[in-house]
């Protein structure tokens, strides 16, 4: 039996933009395009997950992007937006976990949980009391994962693109205490 390569976690750097864009696109399509790709979904991918989007994100001081890397290849990412609020999140200082994406072949190995732990620490270190996120109601894996990690379902919201509405759940967790953990 072969021992799996270790997975390292680190802040993303500008040179990661190309791989971040492709990894983000791959995970998004694996999750949200079970029936194939239509024009509105294709536009959403290009607008939200392109290399240019990640180049801009990496230059934004309000964003923290962390990556999981195995044998020199990106296998996961998290993206935290400092100071982001949502009507269902009542914390005085909150940050949003905009993305937590793990390459399908690396799920079940603790990559998502470790990226989430690092994201929580990053949010708390920047002054957030709470880290919140939205998860599509059709993503059963996410709807089970976040409560197991201590997140509370605080209500529903809608994500819209291409003239279609997609019901999402909003999850939140107090993270102030994890900054030094």
Tens of pLDDT, residues 60-118 = 999 999 999 999 999 999 999 999 999 999 988 999 999 999 999 999 999 999 999 99
- In three-state secondary structure terms, 172 is strand
Planar angle of CA 102, 103, 106, nearest 5 degrees: 85
The pLDDT confidence band at residue 164, using thresholds 50, 70 and 90, is confident
Question: Of 80, 87, 57, nearest to 126 (Cα)?
Answer: 80
The predicted structure's pLDDT at residue 3? 67
pLDDT over 90 (residue 4): no
CB 76, CB 107: distance < 8 Å: no
DSSP string computed for 83-113: T---TT---SSEEEEEEEEE-GGGTTTTHHH
The pLDDT confidence band at residue 162, using thresholds 50, 70 and 90, is confident
Which superfamily is assigned to 7-178 in CATH? Answer: Gcn5-related N-acetyltransferase (GNAT) (3.40.630.30)
Pairing verdict, β 94-102 and 7-11: unpaired
Pairing verdict, β 130-136 and 94-102: parallel
Question: Of 84, 67, 83, 86, nearest to 75 (Cα)?
Answer: 67
The pLDDT confidence band at residue 165, using thresholds 50, 70 and 90, is confident
Domain range summary for the chain, segments of one domain joined by +: 7-178
What is the pLDDT averaged over residues 129-155? 96
pLDDT over 90 (residue 181): no
The span from the CA of 161 to the CA of 105, in Å, is: 28
The pLDDT confidence band at residue 35, using thresholds 50, 70 and 90, is confident
């Amino acid at each position: 039996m072969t021992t799996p390569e270790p997975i390292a976690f680190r802040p993303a750097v500008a040179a990661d933009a190309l791989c971040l864009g492709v990894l983000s696109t791959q995970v998004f399509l694996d999750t949200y395009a079970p029936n194939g790709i239509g024009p509105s979904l294709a536009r959403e991918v290009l607008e939200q997950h392109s290399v240019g989007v990640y180049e801009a994100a990496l230059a934004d001081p309000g964003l923290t992007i962390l990556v999981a890397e195995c044998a020199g290849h990106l296998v996961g990412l998290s993206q935290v937006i400092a100071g982001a609020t949502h009507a269902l999140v009542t914390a005085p200082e909150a940050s949003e976990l905009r993305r937590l994406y793990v390459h399908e072949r690396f799920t079940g190995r603790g990559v998502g949980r470790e990226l989430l732990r690092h994201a929580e620490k990053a949010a708390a270190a920047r002054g957030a009391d709470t880290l919140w996120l939205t998860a599509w109601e059709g993503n059963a894996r996410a709807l089970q994962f976040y409560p197991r990690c201590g997140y509370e379902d605080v209500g529903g919201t809608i994500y819209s693109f291409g003239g279609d509405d997609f019901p999402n759940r909003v999850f939140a967790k107090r993270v102030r205490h994890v900054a030094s953990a």
